[in-house]
Amino acid sequence: MLLWSKKIKNLLRTWLTTSVVLLLMVSLSLGLSSAWWDLSGGDSGRTSRLAQGDAITDAKALLRYALPIDNDTIRDIQQNLEDISYQLRGKRWGPISSDLRRISMALDTRASDILASIPEDRQAQAKPLVEQLRQGLGDLETAVEAKDRPATQEVRDRLLATVGQLEQMMVTGFPFEVPEEYANLPQLKGRATVEIETDRGPVTVVVDGYSAPVTAGNFIDLVQRGFYDGLEFIRSEGNYVLQTGDPPGPDEGFIDPKTGEYRNIPLEILVRGDEKPTYGITLEQAGRYQEDPVLPFSAYGAVAMARPEIDPDGGSSQFFFLLFDRELTPPGFNLLDGRYSVFGYVVEGEDILEELKQGNKIISAKAIEGSENLVEP
């Protein structure tokens, strides 16, 4: 289980209050595991080389960028739409107008490039979506001209949802082969959406098998088995983490009824730019501490596999939600990336997640979309 000592927690908070000590934390070992936060040794701390403020903190944006597609036009449109939310916070209407001009230019001159990446059998669905983007851009321009922040945000979100649909249509097949040594484990060859009904209300998670097929496959398999139904949240540490998945009895993970053995899930991290994930080793151990995972710990409600600190491949059924404390995961100094397998994000029910504490329960967890992408061994 995740366990914090009060002494370590207080020390960490003290160190993180000054920028000087933030720099010193590069050399600290900080291990999030099913046991302890360990500041005494082990891997050196990882730092992201993104400048302060560059980290993407929106879960839906991270999921869009994680899709395995290669289409510059749709990515340009997405990037400019994503930027609008950032500019809105500072009421920077000039840069927003520039974003709109770039989107308009892309749709006027390169719309055919979008459709070229979509298979023929999906074209009938895709063409109306491109038209929706054109029409919605007019609504967005009207909202920006009126300097109406709520309307601008609402239309921007709607257009990004359409962009996400087009991007999803571009995905054909699965982008890589999982190593043969993990063929005995469930794999998610795509995405799935899970609704976790708790005693406080529902939380919706999108699970990304494109980036973490083994970790995501294990989770969906356990959801389908009803494994999480009725389980308590076993650890809640303020604004840091919320953990569950520990079954009743002495076992700390899932015992596969076929083998009678503990199901071990390997550490699985897809680095941006790589064709397939790295398995069984942290990015620090691999000498890649400066590189960025496709699924980072930069959004509230990141969902990741818990594991013993000493065993990268010791995960099983326990997982945790990161509650995105900015002292723990500040942009440009994320101390968790590359150490634990993120396999999804909360996309609805963030307010419910905030209310959940140790002792609250999962009533049920159900795959409401994408269960057909689960491949059993």
| Residue 326, pLDDT score | 63
| Residue 263, pLDDT score | 96
Q: Which residues of the chain, if any, have pLDDT below 50?
A: 1-53
CATH number of the domain located at residue range(s) 69-170 in this protein: 1.20.120.290
Alpha-carbon span 153 to 144, nearest angstrom? 10
Sequence ranges of the domains in the chain? 69-170, 185-375
| Residue 331, pLDDT score | 57
| Residue 4, pLDDT score | 36
Provide the 10 A C-beta neighbour count for residue 263.
19
| Residue 370, pLDDT score | 97
| Residue 309, pLDDT score | 84
| Residue 38, pLDDT score | 29
| Residue 201, pLDDT score | 97
The residues, ordered by sequence, that sit 6+ positions from 101 with a Cβ below 8 Å of its Cβ are none
| Residue 132, pLDDT score | 97
How far out from the chain centre does Cα 328 lie?
Answer: 17
| Residue 22, pLDDT score | 34
CATH class assigned to 185-375 = mainly beta
| Residue 310, pLDDT score | 86
Amino acid at position 53, single letter: G
| Residue 56, pLDDT score | 87
| Residue 6, pLDDT score | 40
Reduced to 3 states (helix: H, G, I; strand: E, B; else coil), residue 171 is: coil
Whether 365 contacts 230, CB under 8 Å: no
| Residue 250, pLDDT score | 87
Whole-structure pTM value: 0.85
| Residue 9, pLDDT score | 44
Alpha-carbon span 225 to 200, nearest angstrom? 23
